[in-house]
Amino acid sequence: MKKLLSGNEAIARGAYEAGVHFAVAYPGTPSTEILEDVATYDEIDAQWSSNEKVALEVGIGAALAGSRVLVAMKHVGVNVATDPLMTFSYIGVNGGLVLVAADDPGMHSSQNEQDSRQYARFAKIPMLEPADSQEAKDFVQSALEISEEFDTPVMLKTSTRISHAQSLVSVRERADIAIRPYEKDMSKHVMMPAYARPRHVAVEERLEFLREYAEQTTLNRIEWRQKKIGVICAGICYQQVREALPDASVLKLGMCYPLPTKLLAEFAANVDQLYVVEELDPFMEEQIKVMGIEVQGKGLFPLTGEISPNLIAKKILGQPLTQSLAADMDSEAPVPARPPVLCPGCPHRSVFYTLHKQKMVVSGDIGCYTLGALQPLDAMDTCICMGASISTGLGFEKGNPALKGKVAAVIGDSTFFHSGMTGLADVVYNQGTTLTMVLDNRITAMTGHQHHPGTGSTLKGNPTVALDIGAICRALGVKRVREVDPYDLAALDAVIREEAAAPEPSVIIARRACALLDKSIKEVYVIDTERCISCGLCMKLGCPAIVKDNKTMSIDVSLCVGCGVCVQVCRSNAIVKAGDQDA
């Protein structure tokens, strides 16, 4: 029987079947589950690395040493890994290497929606793009074969709708692939100018061979149906086109870089109207136009977000497939949104509450704690990319002397190991006074609780060294390193005040396990309505367990986890342990 697998599970299965020996990643939606799933196969050695650059570099080493390797990351992870990627292209492989980049058009869970296909062209390496889970699995094998045949890293691009959609997959047994012998090869592996020059020539030649390959490979195919409309597409867009235009002919590209010139010309010559449907950038469109082929693309379709079957039908056929029922709903009021919030008991909450109260300029970062930007906590000035908090915070202080002593950089524990340490070194070296707050909830929470160098456990669940954040900060030259329990508001308030005022770099580690992982049972709290004066101070915490109805406040005991932070905010002593309430 076929298995129902998500695109990510299918990629993991593909790695297993293709005989992959080693897999490495840093988590990031929508790619995270690939490595989590790979880790369940005993035959594959798998690890989380501290960031994507490190992950790719470890992967490069493993491939040169002779293993078949899978490296996975989200689209913005490739930005971090670009430096090794660009030169890895010159070096090539020994055992094959596939680099999975998971895009997120529509930004379901990302800070931007960049188009990873540009990286394939930039690095001059091939890219495959699966259209469902079956292809996601099969293309891992194809990618590794191409990698070894053409001596190149190969990218595999997914998007949220591929990674997180489940479809049926026929599975196979694992291929028995031996680890290749390692041979030292300076002129190919040591990239200094004299050796790199001929390697660049080799890269350009390789690209020509790959163009030829693209013409013949079964990864690319023409599906002839009616010839009035012909559509060029790849990945999820193929499914959306088939849904919207069941009668149209389709050139489906499983390999979206490099493009097959002759196949495109043949397809174009045999249809009346030619379209290219692709999400985000006009990546294929521009290349096709350079070939001198007339095609319609971004003139009709947006450069932003996802492309749906309805949109395709509307733009190409003139009307959508379906009509929303919204017009028939007599809705008297807008439907309230259900935005994500910091969980009840989240140890991040009190930090943002305090930073807001102290009117700090907060240089933010990426993680659950980015939610500290939202009302009512409202305590973040910037959020750019992972690790930017500390360095951008230093920039605030350098760029405007009036901000000195008022800037706090806020960074999560996983993010600190990802790319926070170099920023901190910069603060010390350049004599900044920025306060850095490490929100150490002992896990990578945002992406679903992955281990990192500070947790003491590996991806495979084995115990390992837990790196000590405080010791690292001290070793980086920070003299003022303090720890605080974020559930203790008074202590938190005092320590932030002192360290922000300090005329030298300081670090506060606010340490408390993620509330979703803290299994200790604490007594929940309720509001004593006789003592409550409805001042609304507790509402400033933005805790979803504290509910306001008209003017009165109450605590939803099914949500409260008993962190006790609200008790410290209340000036009327109206928040009491549920057991102590006299009623």
Partner 1 sequence: MPKTTSILMGGVGGQGIVLASKILAHVIQAHDFDLKISEIHGMAQRGGSVLTYIRFGEVVHSPLIEPGQADYVMASEKLEAWRWLPYLHSGGTMVCSTQEIKPVPVIMGLQKYPHNIEKAMQTMVAKGTLGKLYAINALAVARECGQPKAANVALIGVLAHCLQFPLASFEEALEAIVPARFLAANKKAFLAGYQYFTDI
- Choose which of 186, 192, 194, 335 interacts with partner 1 (CB under 8 A): 335
Q: CB 46 → ligand TPP: shortest distance, Å?
A: 17
User: Quick one: 31 or 152, whose CB is closer to ligand TPP?
Assistant: 31
Under rule CB under 6 A, how many of the chain's residues touch ligand TPP? 25
Closest CB to partner 1 among residues 159, 419: 159
Q: Does 329 bind partner 1 (CB under 8 A)?
A: yes
Q: Which does 340 bind (CB under 5 to 8 A by kind): partner 1, ligand TPP, none?
A: partner 1
- How many Cα atoms are found within 13 Å in the side-chain-facing hemisphere of 194? 2
Judged by beta carbon, residue 366 or residue 569, the one nearer ligand TPP is: 366
Residue listed under structure tokens 């500290």: 372
Residue whose C-alpha is closest to residue 483's, from 422, 426, 431, 439: 439
Establish how many alpha carbons lie within 13 A of residue 574's alpha carbon, considering only the half-sphere containing its beta carbon: 21
Q: Which of ligand TPP, partner 1, none sits in contact with 583, Cβ below 5 to 8 A by type?
A: none
The pairing of beta strand 506-511 with beta strand 97-103:
unpaired
Q: Which of 204, 294, 328, 530 binds partner 1 (CB under 8 A)?
A: 328
Measured from the CB atom, the residue of 49 and 444 that comes closer to ligand TPP is 444
Q: Is 391 in the site for ligand TPP (CB under 6 A)?
A: no
Closest CA to 367 of 411, 417, 419: 411
Nearest in space to 72 (alpha carbons), one of 58, 91, 84, 55: 55
State yes or no: residue 342 binds partner 1 (CB under 8 A): yes
In angstroms, the CA 13 to CA 515 distance is 33
Minimal CA–CA distance to 150: which of 255, 303, 27, 4?
Answer: 255
Site for partner 1, residues 521 to 550, rule: CB under 8 A: 539, 542, 544, 546-550
Contacts of partner 1 in 344-403 (CB under 8 A): 368, 371, 375-376
Looking at the DSSP bridge assignments, the partners of residue 231 are 250, 275
Amino acid at the residue 48: W
Q: Count Cα neighbours of 260 within 13 Å in the Cβ-side half-sphere.
A: 26
Alpha helical stretches, state H, 447-532: 469-475, 489-501
Touching ligand TPP, residues 440-499 (CB under 6 A): 441, 443-447
- Residue 386 is a binding residue for ligand TPP (CB under 6 A): yes
92 binds ligand TPP (CB under 6 A): no
SS3 readout for 281-332: CCHHHHHHHHCCCCCECCCCCCCCCCCCHHHHHHHHHCCCCCCCHHHHCCCC
Residue 318 touches which member of partner 1, ligand TPP, none, C-beta under 5-8 Å by kind: none
Site string for partner 1, 88-117 (x = CB under 8 A): --------------------xx--------
Quick check: 176 binds partner 1 (CB under 8 A)?
Answer: no
CB of 277 to partner 1, least distance (A): 12
Q: Is the dihedral of CA 515, 450, 351, 79 positive or negative?
A: negative
The C-alpha atoms of residue 582 and residue 528 are separated, in whole angstroms, by 9
Q: Which residue is nearest to ligand TPP (CB)?
A: 412
**Residue 443 or residue 526: which is nearer to ligand TPP going by CB?**
443
Beta carbon nearer to partner 1, 194 or 325: 325
SS3 435: strand
DSSP H or E run through 412 = strand 407-412
178 binds, among partner 1, ligand TPP, none (CB under 5 to 8 A by kind): none
Closest by CA to 354, choosing from 478, 500, 473, is 500
The residue (of 165 and 253) whose beta carbon lies closer to partner 1 is 165
Residue 179 contact, options partner 1, ligand TPP, none, Cβ 5-8 Å cut-off depending on partner type: none
| Residue 335, C-beta contacts closer than 8 angstroms, at least 6 positions apart | none
CA distance 6 to 454: 30
Q: Rule CB under 8 A: which of 10-29 touch partner 1?
A: 29
Q: Does 434 bind ligand TPP (CB under 6 A)?
A: no
Smallest gap from residue 107 Cβ to ligand TPP (A): 11
Is residue 141 close enough to count as binding ligand TPP by CB under 6 A?
A: no
Asked whether position 318 contacts partner 1 by CB under 8 A, the answer is: no
Structure tokens at 238: 């193929």
Continuous H helices in 7-154:
7-17, 33-38, 52-65, 75-91, 117-123, 133-150
Q: Which one of 277-285, 350-358, 439-447, 556-564 is the stretch in contact with ligand TPP (CB under 6 A)? A: 439-447
Q: Which of 80, 155, 280, 532 binds ligand TPP (CB under 6 A)?
A: 80
Cβ closest to partner 1, residue 260 vs residue 412: 412
Q: At what angle do helices 193-216 and 75-91 cross, to 10 degrees?
A: 110
Of 325 and 583, which CB lies nearer to partner 1 in the complex structure?
325
The answer to whether the peptide bond before residue 376 is cis (omega within 30 degrees of 0) is: yes
State the alpha helices, DSSP H only, in 322-417. Answer: 348-357, 388-399, 413-415
Q: Which does 448 bind (CB under 5 to 8 A by kind): ligand TPP, partner 1, none?
A: partner 1
Other residues' Cβ atoms within 10 Å of the Cβ of residue 284? 24
Q: Is 390 in the site for ligand TPP (CB under 6 A)?
A: no
Instruction: Name the one range near ligand TPP by CB under 6 A: 75-83, 327-335, 373-381, 483-491.
Output: 75-83
Question: Cα separation of 530 and 579, whole Å?
Answer: 16
* Of 77 and 126, CB closest to ligand TPP: 77
Q: Does 545 bind ligand TPP (CB under 6 A)?
A: no
User: Which residue lies nearer to ligand TPP by CB, 27 or 345?
Assistant: 27
Task: Kindly identify the residues of this chain, within the stretch 232-261, that bind partner 1 according to CB under 8 A.
Answer: 236, 239-240, 242-243, 246
Task: State the pairing for strand pair 255-257/127-128.
Answer: antiparallel
Residues at the contact surface with partner 1, assessed by CB under 8 A: 1-2, 4, 29-30, 108-109, 132, 160-161, 164-168, 236, 239-240, 242-243, 246, 308-310, 321-326, 328-343, 368, 371, 375-376, 446, 448, 516, 539, 542, 544, 546-550
Residues at the contact surface with ligand TPP, assessed by CB under 6 A: 26-28, 52, 74, 76-77, 80, 111, 366-369, 386, 412-415, 439, 441, 443-447
